[in-house]
Structure 1
Amino acid sequence: MRTYGLIIIGDEILRGKRQDRHLAKFIEILGARGLHLSWAEYLGDERPRLIETFKRTLASNDVVFSCGGIGVTPDDHTRQAAASAAGVPLELNPDAEREIRARMAELGEPVTPARLELGTVPAGSRIIPNPFNRIPGFSYRDHHFLPGFPQMAWPMAQWVLDTYYADDFRQGMEAEAAILVWDGLEGRMLELMRKTEADFPGITVFSLPNLGSETMRRHVELGVRGEPSRVAEAIEALKAGVAALGYGFDIKT
């Protein structure tokens, strides 16, 4: 099964001028399709670092979404970095040119070289339709380059998933169940966690310690996620193991 990654580009995020909204939304978009992110990275507007990153990710089998930097201002480097990393030239994509010309006609604006530059993408790319203003993003292999603006990027990402990766949707379905182990210590439950993963292939055990607050006792959220058919069995095994250790627990709702 393919794995999915997200790259979020922009000095404005790393310097605190804007708050990132992409990460949470991509988790939601993928989750609605039974998928999840395996990794995410934040990068500034530095072309050498972008090239290095895209070389690495292009060498993987991951599906990668990249948000930001596909404009034509001096701080936009994504298109050039993607082409350099792929070892191909930039070229004016005819489908992108068609969309840009159509958009300028709608606005009654001239088609200038700077505007057509928005359609120059790594050779061999496919465009990603932009329902907001028709200025497209682009896909190169399994890398999908989107604008930084959420109102553009999010529907474009959904289009990419529904168009190219629908076969993954059911394959990626997973369930999750958890208990709250009151006053639990992860160290005492470590062997139980390892045994549960060994006994239930396809299941991942997770633990999230919580130091407690005025309204809730100290606890560990202990749970399992993975193949739906195995989650119910695995959580019962965890419950039995936690009880054997003398801990009280409640089902996390």
Structure 2
Amino acid sequence: MKFGLMVIGDEILSGRRRDTHVEWFRQILHDHGFSLAWVQILPDESELLVRQIRQSMTAGEKVFSCGGIGATPDDHTRQCAAAAAGVPLLRHPEAAALIERQFPDSARPHRIRMADLPEGIELIPNPVNEVPGFSINEHYFMPGFPDMSHPMGQWVLDHYYPPDKYPQQTLSLRVYGVSENELMPILEKLTANWPQLKLFSLPRMGEASFVELGFTGSDRLAEAFQSLQQELRHAGFFFVLSDMPERHGHA
């Protein structure tokens, strides 16, 4: 299972704040047996946000979004999520009650706006200050603050996506004395034979140049990896597997 990640905020693009979401979500998804398919770092611009959120919703993708759900005029994510989903923005009674309970003397007139959410959403609990995030169409909208969004992201995974029965793994080896161009027939053959897996090729330059080849996935991963080794043996290439050198044909 793959997820996208949107990090929203002019402060990330300008360098006023450093992103910490990408690596955190990459790791937590990996720990659950999932993967991070793509990342978008987006400005606080309504037209662009609507377009990007609508695109991923239309594609049926699962997406985490961090940032832009506050009450200040530069926060547009709540409104853009509603526009992308084609639903109105409505005052959510449970979210409003949480905000009023947390800020009894200052919820109105400004903070209460954070309860104006797309129609039909589900709330994501916020363990830090109880102002919730929300989900719609498998898009999970949370604050930009890592101390809030990270535990909220953990809750989303625990609540909606228990660890995969067949978690993704990666198996790889190193091929020495060969270029990617020479490996192309093998890469094309394996890509066609194992479409359910992701084949990767990573050339490394240096004193001992090599090409790292492998598969990432779950379905018949070991079988595909064996097939990769067989193709390399048949071609006479020298490769290293599991830190143990194995020579086949001429080095």
> What residue in structure 2 maps to residue 242 of structure 1?
232
Corresponding residue of 1:88: 87
C-alpha deviation, 1:227, in angstroms: 2.2
CA distance, structure 1, for counterparts of residue 242 and residue 201 of structure 2 = 13
AA aligned to 1:52 is R
Alignment-derived partner of residue 246 in structure 2: none
Structure 1 residue 102 corresponds to structure 2 residue 121: no
1:193 is displaced (CA, Å) by 1.9
Aligned residue number for residue 247 of structure 2: none
Secondary structure at the aligned position of 1:180 is classed as strand
1:124 match: 120
Task: Give the letter for the 2:178 counterpart.
Answer: G
**Per-residue CA shift, 1:65-88, capped at 9, x if unaligned?**
111011112221111111222222
Equivalent residue, structure 2, for 1:188: 182
**What SS does the aligned partner of 2:82 have?**
helix
- Equivalent position SS for 2:68: coil
Read off the aligned partner of 2:164 and give its amino acid letter.
F
In structure 2, stretches of 5+ residues that fail to align are: 244-251
Q: In structure 2, how many angstroms separate the alpha carbons of the residues matched to 1:19 and 1:29?
A: 19
RMSD over equivalenced CA pairs, Å: 2.0
Unaligned runs of 5+ in 1: none
Aligned counterpart in structure 2 of residue 220 of structure 1, from 190, 211, 215 = 211
Alpha-carbon distance, 1:131 to partner = 0.5
Quick one: distance in 2 between partners of 1:149 and 1:99?
A: 19
**AA at the equivalent of 1:237:** S
1:134 deviates by 0.8
After the TM superposition, which residues 113-192 of structure 1 pair with which residues of structure 2 at under 5 Å, given as runs?
A: 113-166=109-162, 169-170=164-165, 173-192=167-186
Code of the aligned partner of 1:245: A
d(CA) in 2 for partners of 1:61 and 1:233? 30
Shift of 1:50: 0.7
Alpha-carbon shift at residue 132 of structure 1 (Å): 1.1
- C-alpha offsets along residues 134-160 of structure 1, whole Å, 9 cap, x if unaligned? 111111231110111111111101111
Instruction: Give me the whole-angstrom Cα distance separating, in 2, the residues matched to 1:35 and 1:154.
Output: 16
Residues 140, 96 of structure 1: CA spacing in aligned structure 2 closer, same or farther, 3 A cutoff?
A: same
234-243 vs 35-44, which moves further? 234-243
- 1:112 alignment partner AA: R
Report the counterpart of residue 18 of structure 1 in structure 2: 17
- Which residue identity does 2:197 align to in structure 1? I
**Conserved 8 A contact 1:90-1:121:** yes
Identity of aligned residues (%): 41
Distance between the aligned counterparts of 2:85 and 2:190, measured in 1?
43
The amino acid that maps onto 1:85 is A
TM-score (norm 2): 0.89
Q: Aligned AA for 1:195? A: K
2:203 paired residue number: 209
Amino acid at match of 1:169: D
In structure 1, C-alpha distance between the alignment counterparts of 2:195 and 2:135, rounded to whole Å: 35
CA distance in 2, matches of 1:40, 1:222: 24
Among 209, 223, 226, which residue is 1:233 paired with? Answer: 223
What whole-Å deviation, never above 9, does each CA across 1:4-53 have from its counterpart, x for those lacking one? 21111111111122221111111111111111122221111111111111
